[in-house]
Amino acid sequence: MDKNIKILVVDDFGTMRKVLRNLLKQSGYENIVEAEDGVSALKVLKGQKVDFVISDWNMPNMSGLELLKAVRADADLSKTPFLMVTAEALQENVVAAVKAGVSNYIVKPFTSEVLNEKIQKIMEKI
Amino acid sequence: MDVRFINAFIDGTIDVLKTMAFIEPRPGKPYLKKETAAQGDVSAIIGLTGDAKGSLALSFSAGSIIKIVSNMLGEDIQEVNADVRDAVGEITNMVSGVSRKCLESQGFNVVAAIPTVVAGKDHTIRHVMGGPSIIIPFETDYGSFVVDVCLG
């Protein structure tokens, strides 16, 4: 699997972005960009080619779900793999994310093995 | 307070810290707290609505949270800095998520807001409901912390 893919990590908590970056590096992914909410994530996505999005759900300005809907509604971005990494484990949240076209879903807390497995499963389907 | 809520917050706290920081905290006996002074050096509080209305706070001693965040980030952190304060918010968010998932499986629908972090000597925790809260004390090899819950 191509480990040079560019991954956008979106989370309003800087430490969580750092945790995700560390876990991704452990799995061999080095090409990582960051955004602190959905609004800044959309700017990154429109300004450069991103191969994979990992986003939190609960964020100010634009939530992960709103970001997902915006990505799926944009012709240029609609096929971008989108992994939701969130503390929102309630059934209604999972259903809403699936309806909006999420590629997969990880509930915090999680291990590097779980993260890597989810990324690989998504990439294998492409 | 329903013991199922207490158990959900205990299990959620242990699960989050074991998975993200490789530390297994030891819960003590819960007790009633009447004052607003926080028990720790850095705290985060998150509002809850739905079947449980009130708030959940986690308040860490400097020793415990410095080790927890060092493990989470894979860095040797020496003091309560911006990363540590930020992490307390995220840990509280995760504990809330895991606990609410556990409560959902028992028929309770609880919704959470975004956490607020408070730090500094003698800071206070003001719960939305304003009444006495239940303290669940935890010990680690690096210091103590508490889960502070107030539900109406």
Overall domain count for chain B:
1
The minimum CA-CA distance between B15 and chain A, rounded to whole Å, is 8
Indicate if the pLDDT at residue B130 is higher than 90. no
Count CB atoms within 10 A of the CB of residue B136. Answer: 20
Q: Measure CA B30 to chain center.
A: 13
- The pLDDT value given to residue A13: 87
Q: Confidence class of residue A102 from pLDDT cuts 50, 70 and 90?
A: very high
> Shortest CB distance from B100 goes to which of A58, A60, A90?
A90
Instruction: State pLDDT tens for residues A22-62.
Output: 999 988 999 999 999 999 999 999 999 999 999 999 888 99
Q: Which of A63, A61, B112, A42 is nearest to A53 (CA)?
A: A42
The minimum CA-CA distance between A75 and chain B, rounded to whole Å, is 32
Please answer yes or no on whether B72 and A14 come within 8 Å at the CB atom: no
Please answer yes or no on whether A87 and B69 come within 8 Å at the CB atom: no
Residue ranges in chain A assigned as alpha helix (H): 14-26, 38-47, 64-73, 91-99, 112-125
The complex's ipTM works out to 0.80
Contact yes or no for B3/B136 (Cβ under 8 A): no
Q: Confidence class of residue A105 from pLDDT cuts 50, 70 and 90?
A: very high
CA distance B125 to B70: 25
User: CATH assignment of A7-125, given 3.40.50.2300, 1.10.3720.10, 3.40.30.10, 2.30.40.10?
Assistant: 3.40.50.2300
Q: Which string of b and e fits A38-68 if b means at least 16 CB within 10 Å? A: bebbbebbeeeebebbbbbbbbeebbbbbbb
Q: Confidence class of residue A5 from pLDDT cuts 50, 70 and 90?
A: very high
Residues from B in contact with A at Cβ < 8 Å: 15-16, 19-20, 69, 72-74, 82-83, 86-87, 89-90, 93-94, 96-98, 100-101, 104, 109, 112, 114
* B123-131: average pLDDT: 78
Q: How, if at all, do strands A52-55 and A82-86 pair?
A: parallel
DSSP codes joined into one string, B115-136: -EEEESTT-B---TT-S-EEEE
Residue pairs between chains A and B whose CB atoms are closer than 8 Å? 62
Please answer yes or no on whether A15 and B94 come within 8 Å at the CB atom: no
**C-alpha angle with apex A83: A79 to A81, nearest 5 degrees?**
15
Q: Measured in Å, how far apart are chain A's first and last C-alpha atoms?
A: 11
Polymer length in residues for chain B? 152
Each domain of chain A, given as residue ranges in start order, spans 7-125
In the three-class reduction of DSSP (H, G, I as helix; E, B as strand; rest coil), residue B34 is classed as coil
- The pLDDT value given to residue A91: 83
Nearest CA in chain B to A94: B101
Q: Which residues contact A99 (CB under 8 A, 6 or more apart)?
A: none
Q: Which residues of A touch B117 (CB under 8 A)?
A: none
Tokens for A117, please give them: 């497995």
Instruction: State pLDDT tens for residues B37-86.
Output: 778 899 999 999 998 889 999 999 999 999 999 999 999 999 999 999 99
Q: Which residues contact B67 (CB under 8 A, 6 or more apart)?
A: B21, B23, B140, B142, B143
CA distance B57 to B52: 14
Handedness of CA B43, B69, A24, A48 (dihedral sign): positive
**Domain residue limits at B46:** 3-151
CATH number at residue B14: 3.40.1550.10
Residue of A9, A10, A11, A19 to mutate, interface with B, max B Cβ within 10 Å: A19
Tell me the range of A11-15, A77-81, B131-135 where mean pLDDT is highest: A77-81
> Shortest CB distance from B19 goes to which of A89, A91, A110?
A110
